[in-house]
Structure 1
Amino acid sequence: MFSQQNSISIKSKLDTKKDELKIQQEIIFYNQSDSILTKVYLHNWANSYRDRKTPLSKRFIKDFRKDLYFAKAEELGSSLIKSLSVDFENVYFKELDKQADIIEIDLDKPLYPNSKITISITYIVKIPNARFTKYGKTKTGYHLRNWYLTPAVYDNGWQLMSNLNLDDLYEKSTDFKIEIDVPKDLIVESNLYQYKTKKENTNSYYLIGKNKTDIILGINKTEQLKTYTTKTVTVHTDVFSKELDYNLTTSILNRELLFIQKYLGKYPHVEIFIDKTTQSKNPIYGLNQLPNFLRPFSDTFKWDVTMFKALTKRYIENTLLLNKRKDYWLMDGIQNYLMIEYVEQYYPEVKLLGKVSNSWFLKRFNISKLDFNDKYPFVYQFTARKFLDQALNTSADSLSNFNRKIVSKYKAGLGFRFLKGYLGDSILNQTIQEFYQNNQLKIIRSTNFNQLLSSKTTKDLDWFFDDFVKTNKKIDHKIESITKEKDSISVTIKNKRNITTPLALYAIKDKEIILKKWIADVDSTKTVKFKKGDYDTFVLNYENLYPELNTLNNWKKVDKKILNKPLKFSFLKDISSPNYNQVFYQPDANYNFYNGLILGVKLHNKPLIKRNFDFKISPYYATKSKTLIGSFSLLYNQFFEKTKIYKVAYGLSGGTSDYAPNLSYKSLVPYVDITFKRKTLRDISSESLRAKLIHIDKEIAPNAIKTDQDNYSILSLSYNYSNPDIIKEFRYSFSTEFAKKFSKASLDLRFRTLTTTDTQLDFRFFAGVFLNNKTEGDYFSFGLDRSNDYLFQLNYLGRSESSGFFSQQYIITEGGFKSVLPTRFANQFMVSNNSSIGLWRWIEVYNDVAFLKNKNHPLYFAYENGIRFNFVHEIFEIYFPLYSNNGWEISQNAYPEKIRFSLSADVKSIYNFFKRGFL
């Protein structure tokens, strides 16, 4: 089996002063393919930390991480090749264009099948700071992964992949011999068998291993690992709990390994190595992220499932040599299936929220009733309802971060649970074990599993391997009707989506399963007959064996009632109940200068998992104005799967509030939003069209005459584009407005960039022109320093204030000026440019210029500059004017009144700012 095994021999020395490894490496590479090779490729992932041009650095930028991009030279890593030869003859080699972490070697002689070459390399690895990927120089020493050169896999072509912080390097099993010399005060720990020899100034380690991949080194002043001897393998790990003693930990590990062996069979190695760094990059979300003081789960459960996940990952990855970038779904599917089975067997009583599920406050919520394993369909549905899930065969580097880290893993695990339910656990479990045992340490693909499973059943599985795996089609079945006859009951099932899969139908009595039946080939509707029995409800997918888009339509009572789902009011947000039409209520508070503190309640139907139709009614009491105010909104989202349109939102909103002392306004706004699909879900740009008709009716002061400025309707059409890249952000919007007495068009273009020295440059260009204007006054004019916001879409705390603290609130719109100049409005056209440049951290200097044109007035040129404190971009900023058309602002009276501030209380904007890079 291993007669043509690749081997790697390394002699290396660690220089702690320079953070360098000096390496002499020899690779014996066998051509195990049927092709004649003229080139050989080496993965050189140590070089992926070299500069800001590497795929790794570019990946981080897409994830809103700029730490590697702006790292200091001493923090970077690299791999400097001093010499490279093949069969002891110098050859031509080069880095691939735009892939500095892959080396291409031109062979002087063709490498025929079943032949070998010896590649000798001398090189120096500069170890990067571990803060980038958690591998490199740490606070206590070094934690090294992917630090050596390794041959790329040839499997129907070269399988080349750059380091993208996915920990998915594709390697063949290899025999390793590594010698490493380290200073005498350091200890080397690894996933290889090792000998140690003490010398005068160094400790010399000799590491060996057969049929290994992914060699990890820990180099520290003290030992980090504990060793646990179990009945099957020896476990070396630094993932341990201080609260659990050694004997209990060993007992748990024994149970875990015996459980894994029951499903997968014997592990081919005698030892297994689990490092905390790698484990922490593949955590159990919702468990490992909780602060310790909450402690909703017992220490035993928390450590058990954490270690079980890490063990299964290593058990599988060290044995099944799949391309983890392309075929990750199979490994994730097996791993999460085992997780589900393990928790179901040993922790069936544990709830999703742990112990807090029984607290007086949470136990009334539906989410508190979810078992720990219910998180898999819950999280999948959370994403699928937004149509943000991706096909399981999507390359891992093309998945959104949320899908890669959580959703796709969960869907893959549910897929195996689906197969277990449909085929029976004996067929699935036998297939998994046979696949694992027969393919140990071989280069394989997920199609091999497909062929093996299909050979063990007469049932058609094309729906799984074609639709479930290769598309993001959603499963959604509905019980259309139930018809009672003399001695039978007919259940009609409707398939609401474009995927035909088996489904599970249950007859339930008092939450107990009386009958269960698998039904196949429901492509549109199908009626199934049952004998009458002692059951009161039919339910689809009662055990959540497979992921569904909507489970609320899965329930139907046998005896029809006038109100099949009665109305229920629930406190705060919750998951939807299949038994009720829920309305959620929650206290809410707000503030503006005229109404004062605004207290009220929000009534809505928005559960934790989105619906297509949302409504919200918010009645409030204003403590200062002593009036009742409020708002409402209706929204329907229509999603599209086969067009360039992502969704169309149809909405109607309205409300009433005060816009001036003792004066209120009413608004009614029907609108349509069209959001276009991104090129990929890793593309952070967005593109949309919006049409809205704004009706405004303002209350006027006593004895005042109502004018066109107090009651008006405006049709607004806009196109919006945004690319919030962390290095080069670009956004623009083009809008038009049509009203009875005016029409206008405007362009708002914004560009923000970071220079190579991490200095921020911020530019904004605005141009607005009236197509016609028969209005009087400046109410509908373009504002230089403050928009009149006649559309009532900006969050002004005191929108009508012309002096005082609230008049100093600044929202960057239209002219974007901070100083109040003699000419503040334009009723013909306005062109302005706002720019700022970073000085130090969040301190910037701003410069603005503008041209304003009013009827019967000459062109007005405006200018200003000042200091900008940009604490949180467009959320919390402070502006100090210095010089403008007014002269030196700082030397004039009442300077504090000239200071402007931006303060956003928009929860959605703040949420979008902080979620960047994860979703």
Structure 2
Amino acid sequence: MKIIYTLFLTLFVVIFLGTECFAQHSIKASAALSVSEKTLSFSQKIQYKNTSENSLQEIYLNDWANSFSSKTTPLAERFAEDYYRKYHYAKDHERGYTIIENIQDSLQQKMRWVRPENMPDVIRVELTKPLLPNETTEIQLNYVIKIPDDKFTGFGYGKGTFKLKYWMILPAVYNGDWNVYSHNLHDLFIPKLDFSIDLRVPLAYNVISNLDVSEPTLIDSETKKVSLTGKDRIDLSLYVLENDFFETYKIDDLEVVSNIQDNDIKTELKELTLDRAVDFLEEKLGKYPYDKIVVSEEDYDQSPVYGFNQLPRFIRPFPDGFQYDIKLLKTITKKYLNTTLLLNPREEKWLVDAIHIYLMMEYVKTYYDDVKLIGSFSEIIGLRWFHLADLEFNDRYHYLFMNMARLNLDQALTTPQDSLVKFNKNIANPYKAGLGFNYIDNFLADSTLQKSIKEFYVDYTLKPVHPEDFERILKKNTSKNIDWFFTDFVPSNNFIDFKISEVKKTEDSLSVVIINKYPNKLPVSLFGLKNDSIVAKYWIEDVNGIKKKSPFRVMKSTA
């Protein structure tokens, strides 16, 4: 009887609880790379489980390569808006596309499919019967992807290289509505997936991926096969290279694979730098849920450290290792967040940006607090007399964001990524988001924000999440009113502009009248100075476009 009970309990755990341990959707595929034709040929199965409360009549799939299929796609229009002419003048064989050979169900019945109007990189597949809640269906596809030239986005084919980011047809996210959009700007939104892929490549090429890569199996004298596997993944980076420039570092339990280069930095210093960056992220966020993370020059080039990429390589105004450290930190932090937080990367990216830039600012405060914005140039006679020479390295975020604000070109943090101008998308809005976190950190004046960021990351790693979840955690951890951050700072591009209009002095205090020039409830800090030294700091709240009279006691210096 005990044996029967034990078997029943085991089956119960496996059937009813075990399903929670893995992704609800899976991809199984065989793919073959043709170097000469620049194509990937696929035979693929998608297992899709309906985790919603609605019956589904159709399933949407993302098809990245087909966004390059003509000069009139939404991606082409985005390139034109950014004044990027290479795509318009590119030859047909340099652009990508997808040839769908067939789409069918598990019974090999053909399924009707169509590309929605003005969405050439999205496929709508009609199901042969409604998919009820908690039911699973299978979609079988055979297709060929023509890989685009990497000069357009940094990903694609190059000389002896195939650097791929979204290189398969993958399901979209359904959370009551299908989250699909065209012209992929490195912001594809997919659910977490289990992958099992057999990939055939030429014998002379090496395979690097964030997925687990098996030892190669020889197919013939010119071809080998590797298996790529992974559980609960939302990132599918793949590098097939004739010459492998990636280096592997073992940091405790995490394997870091990187090709970020700095020829002036010794390998030992690179290892120490990487070890410190990983320790910092684990302290501030928590453990990375995978055994391996791949950080590449291509990832960095999507959003480089502004200023570093403008300097000639022979100019080094910063301390040894500083540029490499910041470059590496920015790339690995972005990858750490983007591969584990299931936020909508087009509609909700501001939260990832805020955490990303805030952590970079905290890192510099911790390890490079004395580094100036222009480095050693601040000591050069003629330059050191300018205000720019006095700015700290972290002042760069405010300086570059305000560049757009002064031109009245800044946009709200909640603006979708495809509606942002290029400078705001790449620089100003991420910096504004990070400055917003720094603003609220100063207002709270304790470790609440850092505690909340870590709690948010630990609680929602690889789980459906929205910015409202972070808001709830932050409000739970503080007794102060921070509604202003989510109602006035995040969704608005109004200026933050206060002024002191009147000061009255009494025997031992000052009465100050403050005016908020814009209709918001943002708090403002007021400092008390004596002999050019700060002797007091006050936060004034709820100055909502009206004068507010506040008496302050002058603190006497004990010196």
- What's the TM-score, normalizing by structure 2? 0.93
User: In structure 2, what is the equivalent of residue 405 of structure 1?
Assistant: 426
Residues 39 and 105, structure 1, Cα contact 8 Å, conserved in 2: yes
Identify if the C-alpha distance between structure 1 residues 250 and 22 changes in structure 2 by more than 3 Å, giving closer, same or farther: same
- The whole-number CA distance in structure 2 between the counterparts of 1:354 and 1:336 is 20
Residues 23 and 192, structure 2, Cα contact 8 Å, conserved in 1: no
What do the CA deviations read for 1:182-234 (whole angstroms, capped 9, x no partner)? 11111111111111123322121111111112211111112121011112521
**Correspondent of 1:119 among 108, 122, 139:** 139
The AA in structure 2 aligned to 1:419 is I
- The whole-number CA distance in structure 1 between the counterparts of 2:23 and 2:519 is 48
User: In structure 1, what is the equivalent of residue 9 of structure 2?
Assistant: none
Instruction: Indicate the SS of the match to 1:90.
Output: coil
Map residues 82-97 of structure 1 onto 2, 5 A cutoff: 82-88=101-107, 89-97=109-117
**Correspondent of 2:520 among 491, 499, 508:** 499
Identify if the C-alpha distance between structure 1 residues 510 and 245 changes in structure 2 by more than 3 Å, giving closer, same or farther: farther
What do the CA deviations read for 1:705-751 (whole angstroms, capped 9, x no partner)? xxxxxxxxxxxxxxxxxxxxxxxxxxxxxxxxxxxxxxxxxxxxxxx
Residues 347 and 415, structure 2, Cα contact 8 Å, conserved in 1: yes
- The whole-number CA distance in structure 2 between the counterparts of 1:35 and 1:6 is 17
Number of residue-to-residue matches in the alignment:
534
Identify if the C-alpha distance between structure 1 residues 383 and 149 changes in structure 2 by more than 3 Å, giving closer, same or farther: same
Residues 82 and 122, structure 1, Cα contact 8 Å, conserved in 2: yes
**Correspondent of 1:224 among 237, 245, 251:** 245
The AA in structure 1 aligned to 2:552 is F
Identify if the C-alpha distance between structure 1 residues 44 and 376 changes in structure 2 by more than 3 Å, giving closer, same or farther: same
**Correspondent of 1:471 among 457, 477, 492:** 492
Identify if the C-alpha distance between structure 1 residues 233 and 3 changes in structure 2 by more than 3 Å, giving closer, same or farther: closer
Map residues 310-329 of structure 1 onto 2, 5 A cutoff: 310-329=331-350
User: In structure 2, what is the equivalent of residue 529 of structure 1?
Assistant: 551
What do the CA deviations read for 1:394-449 (whole angstroms, capped 9, x no partner)? 00100111111111111100111111111234211111111111111112111111
Map residues 626-665 of structure 1 onto 2, 5 A cutoff: none
Residues 479 and 493, structure 1, Cα contact 8 Å, conserved in 2: yes
**Correspondent of 1:151 among 171, 177, 181:** 171
Residues 295 and 332, structure 2, Cα contact 8 Å, conserved in 1: yes
Map residues 414-813 of structure 1 onto 2, 5 A cutoff: 414-523=435-544, 524-534=546-556
- The whole-number CA distance in structure 1 between the counterparts of 2:297 and 2:391 is 29
User: In structure 2, what is the equivalent of residue 99 of structure 1?
Assistant: 119
Residue 162 (1) aligns with residue 189 (2): no
User: In structure 2, what is the equivalent of residue 273 of structure 1?
Assistant: 294
Shift of 1:245: 1.7
Residue 198 (1) aligns with residue 218 (2): yes
Instruction: Indicate the SS of the match to 1:470.
Output: coil
Residues 267 and 315, structure 1, Cα contact 8 Å, conserved in 2: yes
- The whole-number CA distance in structure 2 between the counterparts of 1:27 and 1:18 is 26
- The whole-number CA distance in structure 1 between the counterparts of 2:124 and 2:229 is 27
The AA in structure 2 aligned to 1:158 is W
Instruction: Indicate the SS of the match to 2:121.
Output: strand
Map residues 72-83 of structure 1 onto 2, 5 A cutoff: 72-83=91-102
The AA in structure 2 aligned to 1:111 is L
Instruction: Indicate the SS of the match to 1:508.
Output: strand
Shift of 1:471: 1.1
User: In structure 1, what is the equivalent of residue 229 of structure 2?
Assistant: 208
User: In structure 2, what is the equivalent of residue 606 of structure 1?
Assistant: none
Residue 178 (1) aligns with residue 197 (2): yes
Shift of 1:4: 5.1
Shift of 1:86: 2.1
Shift of 1:133: 1.0
User: In structure 2, what is the equivalent of residue 912 of structure 1?
Assistant: none
Residues 502 and 520, structure 1, Cα contact 8 Å, conserved in 2: yes
- The whole-number CA distance in structure 1 between the counterparts of 2:547 and 2:194 is 57
- The whole-number CA distance in structure 2 between the counterparts of 1:394 and 1:102 is 22
User: In structure 2, what is the equivalent of residue 705 of structure 1?
Assistant: none
Identify if the C-alpha distance between structure 1 residues 508 and 60 changes in structure 2 by more than 3 Å, giving closer, same or farther: same
Shift of 1:249: 1.1
What do the CA deviations read for 1:252-295 (whole angstroms, capped 9, x no partner)? 11111111111111111111111211211111111222112332
Shift of 1:510: 4.8
CA-based RMSD: 1.5
- The whole-number CA distance in structure 2 between the counterparts of 1:510 and 1:323 is 50
Write 1 or 2 for the structure with the bigger share of strand.
1
- The whole-number CA distance in structure 2 between the counterparts of 1:272 and 1:188 is 15
**Correspondent of 1:290 among 282, 288, 311:** 311
The AA in structure 1 aligned to 2:139 is I
Residues 514 and 549, structure 2, Cα contact 8 Å, conserved in 1: yes
The AA in structure 1 aligned to 2:325 is D
- The whole-number CA distance in structure 2 between the counterparts of 1:35 and 1:87 is 22
Identify if the C-alpha distance between structure 1 residues 124 and 349 changes in structure 2 by more than 3 Å, giving closer, same or farther: same
Residues 28 and 116, structure 1, Cα contact 8 Å, conserved in 2: yes
Write 1 or 2 for the structure with the bigger share of helix.
2
Instruction: Indicate the SS of the match to 2:321.
Output: helix
Residues 210 and 294, structure 2, Cα contact 8 Å, conserved in 1: yes
- What's the TM-score, normalizing by structure 1? 0.57
**Correspondent of 1:33 among 52, 56, 59:** 52
- The whole-number CA distance in structure 2 between the counterparts of 1:427 and 1:248 is 33
Instruction: Indicate the SS of the match to 1:444.
Output: coil
- The whole-number CA distance in structure 1 between the counterparts of 2:477 and 2:99 is 52
- The whole-number CA distance in structure 1 between the counterparts of 2:50 and 2:114 is 21
User: In structure 1, what is the equivalent of residue 376 of structure 2?
Assistant: 355
Map residues 123-142 of structure 1 onto 2, 5 A cutoff: 123-142=143-162
- The whole-number CA distance in structure 2 between the counterparts of 1:32 and 1:289 is 47
- The whole-number CA distance in structure 2 between the counterparts of 1:250 and 1:390 is 39
Residues 143 and 219, structure 1, Cα contact 8 Å, conserved in 2: yes
Residues 234 and 339, structure 2, Cα contact 8 Å, conserved in 1: yes
- How high is the sequence identity, in percent, across the aligned residues? 37
The AA in structure 2 aligned to 1:24 is S
What do the CA deviations read for 1:308-350 (whole angstroms, capped 9, x no partner)? 1111111111111100100010000000000111111111111
Residues 4 and 32, structure 1, Cα contact 8 Å, conserved in 2: no
Shift of 1:56: 0.9
Identify if the C-alpha distance between structure 1 residues 131 and 3 changes in structure 2 by more than 3 Å, giving closer, same or farther: closer
Instruction: Indicate the SS of the match to 1:243.
Output: coil
- The whole-number CA distance in structure 2 between the counterparts of 1:225 and 1:184 is 18
Identify if the C-alpha distance between structure 1 residues 440 and 244 changes in structure 2 by more than 3 Å, giving closer, same or farther: same
Residues 303 and 426, structure 2, Cα contact 8 Å, conserved in 1: yes
User: In structure 2, what is the equivalent of residue 636 of structure 1?
Assistant: none
Higher relative contact order (CA 8 A, sep 6+): 2
Instruction: Indicate the SS of the match to 2:447.
Output: helix
User: In structure 1, what is the equivalent of residue 66 of structure 2?
Assistant: 47
Q: Which moved more, 1:241-250 or 1:103-112?
A: 241-250
The AA in structure 2 aligned to 1:161 is Y
What do the CA deviations read for 1:523-570 (whole angstroms, capped 9, x no partner)? 2122222223347xxxxxxxxxxxxxxxxxxxxxxxxxxxxxxxxxxx
The AA in structure 1 aligned to 2:208 is E
Q: Which has the larger radius of gyration?
A: 1
Shift of 1:3: 4.6
Residue 340 (1) aligns with residue 336 (2): no
Residue 9 (1) aligns with residue 46 (2): no
User: In structure 2, what is the equivalent of residue 187 of structure 1?
Assistant: 206
Residues 22 and 194, structure 2, Cα contact 8 Å, conserved in 1: no
**Correspondent of 1:372 among 393, 412, 417:** 393
Residues 78 and 183, structure 2, Cα contact 8 Å, conserved in 1: no
- The whole-number CA distance in structure 2 between the counterparts of 1:256 and 1:437 is 18
Instruction: Indicate the SS of the match to 1:443.
Output: coil
Instruction: Indicate the SS of the match to 1:100.
Output: coil
